[in-house]
Amino acid sequence: MTVTLYNNSSAYNVLHKNFGQAIASVTATVKGSCSVDNPTLLINYQTAASFNYFYVSDWGRYYKVTNRMLVPGEHMMISGVSDPIASFAGSIAGLDVYAVRCEDLTARSPELADPAVPVESDMQLDKVTGDSVIGTGSGYIVLGVV
Amino acid sequence: MSITTDSYYDVIYNEEVVDRIGLSKTLDNYTNEEIASMTFCGTEFSLIKNISQREQGVTLLGWDLAKPFDVADGEHIGNGGKYILSPGISPYQYPNGMPFNVVWIAFEYGIAPPIHLNIHEGNASHCKIITEFDAPKYEYQLTAPMEVGGIGAASWNVDDAPLYTTPLYNHDGHDNTLVYRINDNVTTGSLAPNGGAVVPYMFTVVNDYFVLLLLCPYNNQWYSRGNGTGAPWIPDGAVTGGGGYINYDWETSFGASCNVATLAKLSFNGEAISFPYTWYYSENYNGNDWGAPLDCFGYNDLGEPIEVYFNGAPEDGWGSQRAVTLKTFCKNRDQIYKLIAGGGIKFKTDKVYKPIITDGWVTGYTDDMNTPSELDDWHGSTIHTVAPSPPSPPVPPTGDEDNNDPVSTTGAPFSSGLCHYYALTAGSVLLEHISDALGTWDIENTHKDLYKNLVSCKLIKPPAAIPTTGSAPFTIYGVKPQYEGADITLPVVTGNPDASFGPYTIDRKFGDFRDYAPYTRVSIFLPYCGWCDLPSHVVGRQVSVKYFTDIIAATCKAVVFCNNNIIAEAAGVIGLDIPFVADNVGAKMQAVTAGMIAALGGGIQLGAGIGTMVSTKSGNGAKAALSGASQYLSGYSQMAMAFNENTIEISGKNGDGCCLSGATNIIIKIVRPKKGAYTDAPYVPPGYGHNVGFVSQKQVKVSSVSGLLIADNVDTSGISGATEAERAEIKRVLETGLIVNAAPE
């Protein structure tokens, strides 16, 4: 089984993580029973500090490294936890979802109230001055007679 | 036809490129039928061809690269056979729905001799082509040498920086190509050859369309506007030895000669835009069929309203600035407007209005484009110059769904036959005449008391002039009391002085929910009535006010409209009740009577002068005691004084918002939060969108947005291959905040 080692520089909740170039592709061996979601693998690699993610092509999944243990014989025992965001990024990108909030202005609904937006307590007064309704003349005397 | 460009045109026939036309290649080798389509640098466009030497004047051509249209023949375009080439200063027309903008080069005139644009020299191949390329390509075309010509040579500047000079008077017969980029401001320089005053013209190219301006004078004929104050004219017969003179003007107009309240200018966001100036060639010219008006298309590609300034009065000279009236239209993105001078103007406000032209005259406007009009085939018709009649501004509703439409009382109360009303200018001496006449009549006719027939007397300061029907003799109880032997003529009231004001635009500040309640509050001061709160949805809209008045009660109701819907109303007082009542008169008359009785009892003879007066007034020659007469006069004076005092008495009748106090103008007050330190839309702290996210509440595809996305009730069942735990994790992340970015290349 081949495992590709990466150094991810993106946050966990980023859809398409920045793995950069693969650090190495190494042979991995399963020791005993192994969880696909939280696997522990023996790999032929000992450069400890250079990777924090690995990809198991046979399983089609990315894993965030949770533990690395050097093993004699230039081997390393690595443990990881499945990152479904990275593993299924393409499928997630195709999902239709109901967006509650969004950074993208194209999805913004500016007319909907947003209580999180800070609103200044200080007010400004704008004025529109319209037409003069009451003239400056002396007016009329209106006499009503029978 | 000579198209000058350093690009190429492909001529395609039977789906094959049969020729590629490069610089200055003539297309005259092809007939209309042979040319199936053309492409410009690989993009299909439509050909406007066959501009022959017999075409006169200016032909403005262009097309939208994205929307090619067919060529029917050399003079028609589009399936509808729209006319595009014209003799003379050519009209043009494009298929309905085609976004298109026109760039029209303006040439300035000085005093005689005007600047002459000699572009032809009798050589049919020497057309002037001004090309315009769309912005993304940033292409400059400058294929012919720009030369400083002879008389009237002038600099053309782009964005106030000299680009090149071009001969406006050119004897060398070169083709000339002027090229501008989109959004260039192009101004003519000083073009007065003889020191005449010159007003530079400026236009801004606003649309991304390919435009050609072809100037093709006909056989050395002169096209001139003479001294610049009349309509353009063409001398009969060909003029030899000179050149084709084509005169333009855009910001000025021919209003002086054709009585068209023509367009003054267009602007877009406060900037002048491409030449919408359209003018009409007078039907006075009978040497050709130039009876059709010119028109102009525009296309709103930014979603801001187009502003049209209409000249309000005929101008008296070139370049003079006149009072203008501003109207806005074509308010939405992707709308097309069309302006037609001579045949009226098709406005685009809430609707498109089509001039209904019958026998050459605009008889009305309709928003039904299927209504027949000679506009449909205006090339073949002669359309007279008429003052454009824009659609009426918004008026109060007459048949909407609400049941609170105010109804004016104008008319009915004043023609009931029971009462009638006279309107005098306050302070008029006629009031004293009435007082005198009534008092005299009552004394002479003691069995009647005309004062009791005065039912009301009010001082009114209405919002408009009180409608009257001229003057008529003052009549009360069927009697016409006279003053110094003559009838007193007074204006007779026929209606209430209702008045409309506005509309007033209430601008938005934030462009979001903060423009509305509870953050923003709007109120309006209605003179006569006081302050009145308005619903905050008026922000970003227009409001207008109509006063429905009642001069019988000296009251009014101010009704505020927004989009023809009533949104507020308030009652007010427009005048003061003058307490002129029969009781006052009765008391005074009682004093008079008592005085007369006392005088008669005293047996004192009436003095000669007074006696004459009484004799004259009573007609019975009765004698009266002098003291009685004195009392009589005293009483009469008291009565008159009472009347006069009462005319100025305003005790206790005034309420808040009375017309005699407070502001006289309508004032709309908008109280809203300050923007604080955030000076740019959307006026939130930096990083707000990324860290908090804007409210969306929309269904979106994840890949269609970027940045932070917080979703609700995410359905992950469509993700195949994931375990339940993984789907739950995906759901959790989407509902707490997923950062969407583009997939790596």
Cβ pair B226, B269 in contact under 8 A: no
B111-to-A6, B193, B212, B229 alpha-carbon distances in Å: 79, 8, 29, 10
pLDDT at residue B307 in the model: 54
Cβ pair B189, B152 in contact under 8 A: no
pLDDT over threshold 60, residue B269? no
Query: By three-state DSSP, how is residue B371 classified?
Result: coil
Percent of chain B with pLDDT over 70: 32
Please indicate whether residue A71 or residue B659 has the higher confidence score (pLDDT): A71
pLDDT at residue B367 in the model: 62
Look at residues B112, B109, B380 and name the one whose alpha carbon lies nearest to residue B254: B109
The interface residues of chain B toward chain A in range 470-499, judged by CB-CB distance below 8 A, are: 475-477, 490, 493, 499
pLDDT over threshold 60, residue B484? yes
Distance CA(B215)–CA(B217), nearest Å, equals 6
Distance CA(A47)–CA(A44), nearest Å, equals 10
The interface residues of chain A toward chain B in range 74-93, judged by CB-CB distance below 8 A, are: 82, 84-85, 87-93
- What amino acid is encoded at A25 in this protein? S
Q: Does B411 touch chain A (CB under 8 A)?
A: no
- Report residue B742 as tokens: 């583009």
Look at residues A48, A65, A67, A69 and name the one whose alpha carbon lies nearest to residue A56: A65
Residue from B434, B453, B709, B710 whose CB has the most chain A CBs within 10 Å, to mutate: B709
The residue to which tokens 């006909």 are assigned: B218
- Report residue A22 as tokens: 């693969």
Phi, psi of B379 (to 5 degrees): -65, -35
Distance CA(A108)–CA(B513), nearest Å, equals 12
pLDDT over threshold 70, residue B666? yes
Chain-chain contact of A92 with B519 (C-beta, under 8 angstroms): no
B724-738 average pLDDT score? 94
Could you write out the DSSP letters of every residue in B255-303?
Answer: HHHH----EEEEEETTEE-S--------TT--SS-TTSPPEEEEE-SSS
Distance CA(B179)–CA(B177), nearest Å, equals 6
**Counting beta carbons within 10 angstroms of the beta carbon of residue A127, is it exposed (0 to 12), middle (13 to 18) or buried (19 or more)?**
exposed
Chain-chain contact of B734 with A113 (C-beta, under 8 angstroms): no
pLDDT over threshold 60, residue B246? no
Q: Which residues of B touch A55 (CB under 8 A)?
A: none
- Report residue B166 as tokens: 């071009």
With residue B499 as reference, give the H or E element that holds it: strand B499-505
CB atoms closer than 10 angstroms to residue B5? 22
Which of B516, B527, B692 has the CB atom closest to A101's CB atom? B692
Distance CA(B728)–CA(B319), nearest Å, equals 73
Most confident of B20-29, B132-141, B161-170: B20-29
The residue to which tokens 């026939």 are assigned: B13
Strand order in the sheet with B738-740: B694-701, A96-102, B707-712, B738-740
pLDDT at residue B436 in the model: 81
Query: By three-state DSSP, how is residue B464 classified?
Result: coil
pLDDT over threshold 80, residue B23? no
Question: Which residues is B295 bridged to in the sheet?
Answer: B340
Answer yes or no: is the ipTM higher than 0.90.
Answer: yes
**3-class secondary structure per residue, B611-670:** HHHHHHHHCCCCCCCHHHHHHHHHHHHHHHHHHHHHHHCCCCCCCCCCCCCCCCEEEEEE
Q: Does B292 touch chain A (CB under 8 A)?
A: no
Helix pair angle (B430-444, B626-648), 10° resolution:
140
With residue B727 as reference, give the H or E element that holds it: helix B724-736
pLDDT over threshold 50, residue B726? yes
Q: Which residues of A touch B704 (CB under 8 A)?
A: 106-107
> How many Cα atoms are found within 13 Å in the side-chain-facing hemisphere of B518?
4
Q: What is the pTM of this model?
A: 0.48
pLDDT at residue B292 in the model: 30
Q: Does A38 touch chain B (CB under 8 A)?
A: no
pLDDT band at residue B115, thresholds of 50, 70 and 90?
Answer: very low
Of B173-182, B393-402, B466-475, least confident by mean pLDDT is B173-182
Residues B281-329 pLDDT 10s:
222 233 332 233 333 334 444 555 555 444 333 332 222 223 344 545 5
Cβ pair B194, B111 in contact under 8 A: yes
Which of A95, A120, A133 has the CB atom closest to B673's CB atom? A120
Q: Does A32 touch chain B (CB under 8 A)?
A: no
Chain-chain contact of A100 with B428 (C-beta, under 8 angstroms): no
- Report residue B24 as tokens: 């200055």
Query: By three-state DSSP, how is residue B382 classified?
Result: coil
Distance CA(B326)–CA(B333), nearest Å, equals 20
pLDDT at residue A49 in the model: 63
Q: Does B664 touch chain A (CB under 8 A)?
A: yes
Q: Searching chain B, which residue's CA lies closest to the CA of residue A90?
A: B743
CB atoms closer than 10 angstroms to residue B465? 12
pLDDT at residue B580 in the model: 60
Min Cα separation B306/chain A (Å): 22
Most confident of B141-150, B288-297, B345-354, B682-691: B682-691
Cβ pair B268, B244 in contact under 8 A: no
Q: Does B679 touch chain A (CB under 8 A)?
A: no
pLDDT over threshold 80, residue B332? no
pLDDT at residue A31 in the model: 77
B129-145 average pLDDT score? 25
Min Cα separation A27/chain B (Å): 24
Q: Which residues of B touch A140 (CB under 8 A)?
A: 423-426, 459-462, 466, 551, 575
pLDDT over threshold 80, residue B541? yes
Look at residues A79, A138, A13, A145 and name the one whose alpha carbon lies nearest to residue B736: A13
pLDDT over threshold 80, residue B415? no
Min Cα separation B164/chain A (Å): 43
Give just the sign of the alpha carbon dihedral B30, B31, B36, B40: positive
Could you write out the DSSP letters of every residue in B678-709?
Answer: --STT-S-TTHHHHT-EEEEEEEEGGGS-EEE
Of A13-17, B314-318, B353-357, B601-605, least confident by mean pLDDT is B314-318
pLDDT over threshold 50, residue B267? no
**Counting beta carbons within 10 angstroms of the beta carbon of residue B424, is it exposed (0 to 12), middle (13 to 18) or buried (19 or more)?**
buried
- Residues with Cβ within 8 Å of B301's Cβ and at least 6 positions away in sequence, in order, are B99, B206, B207, B208, B333, B334
B199-to-B108, B187, B319 alpha-carbon distances in Å: 7, 10, 6
pLDDT at residue B485 in the model: 83
Determine the Cα angle at B476 with ends B472 and B480, to 5°. Answer: 60
Distance CA(B417)–CA(B411), nearest Å, equals 12
pLDDT band at residue B339, thresholds of 50, 70 and 90?
Answer: very low
pLDDT band at residue B134, thresholds of 50, 70 and 90?
Answer: very low
pLDDT over threshold 50, residue B637? no
Beta-strand runs (E) in chain A: 2-6, 24-30, 40-43, 53-56, 61-71, 75-82, 96-102, 123-132, 140-145
- Report residue B263 as tokens: 């367009």
pLDDT at residue B136 in the model: 25
The DSSP output letter for A104 is: -
Q: Searching chain B, which residue's CA lies closest to the CA of residue A101?
A: B695
B538-to-B200, B522, B542, B561, B565 alpha-carbon distances in Å: 41, 8, 7, 10, 11
Look at residues B463, B475, B487 and name the one whose alpha carbon lies nearest to residue B417: B475
pLDDT over threshold 50, residue B183? no
pLDDT at residue B690 in the model: 92
- Report residue B690 as tokens: 């990324």
pLDDT at residue B315 in the model: 31
Cβ pair A56, A28 in contact under 8 A: yes
pLDDT over threshold 90, residue B238? no
pLDDT at residue B357 in the model: 63
Cβ pair B276, B339 in contact under 8 A: yes
pLDDT at residue B331 in the model: 53
Distance CA(B543)–CA(B522), nearest Å, equals 11
pLDDT band at residue B254, thresholds of 50, 70 and 90?
Answer: very low
Query: By three-state DSSP, how is residue B377 classified?
Result: helix
With residue B531 as reference, give the H or E element that holds it: strand B530-534
Q: Which residues of B touch A107 (CB under 8 A)?
A: 694, 696, 698, 700, 704-705
pLDDT at residue B605 in the model: 32
**Counting beta carbons within 10 angstroms of the beta carbon of residue A50, is it exposed (0 to 12), middle (13 to 18) or buried (19 or more)?**
exposed
Min Cα separation A71/chain B (Å): 30
- Report residue B361 as tokens: 């005259």
pLDDT over threshold 60, residue B410? no
pLDDT band at residue B559, thresholds of 50, 70 and 90?
Answer: very high
Residues B366-376 pLDDT 10s:
666 677 766 55
Q: Searching chain B, which residue's CA lies closest to the CA of residue A19?
A: B744
pLDDT band at residue B153, thresholds of 50, 70 and 90?
Answer: very low
Parts of chain A with a pLDDT under 50: none
pLDDT over threshold 80, residue B606? no
pLDDT at residue B658 in the model: 47
Q: Does B666 touch chain A (CB under 8 A)?
A: yes
pLDDT over threshold 90, residue B476? no
pLDDT band at residue B253, thresholds of 50, 70 and 90?
Answer: very low
B564: region left, alpha or beta (phi > 0 left; psi from -120 to 50 alpha): left
The residue to which tokens 């004394």 are assigned: B443
Percent of chain B with pLDDT over 90: 10
Long-range contacts of B681-689 (CB under 8 A, 24+ apart): B681/B510, B681/B511, B682/A105, B682/A108, B682/A110, B682/B510, B682/B511, B682/B512, B683/B510, B683/B512, B683/B514, B684/A117, B684/A118, B685/A118, B688/A117, B689/A103, B689/A104, B689/A105
Could you write out the DSSP letters of every residue in B476-492?
Answer: BTTB--EETTEE-EEEE
pLDDT at residue B490 in the model: 87
Summary mean pLDDT of chain B = 52
Look at residues B591, B532, B582 and name the one whose alpha carbon lies nearest to residue B562: B532
Of A51-65, B526-540, B618-632, least confident by mean pLDDT is B618-632
Q: Does A21 touch chain B (CB under 8 A)?
A: no
Residue from A8, A143, A146 whose CB has the most chain B CBs within 10 Å, to mutate: A143
pLDDT at residue B385 in the model: 34
Please indicate whether residue B421 or residue B407 has the higher confidence score (pLDDT): B421
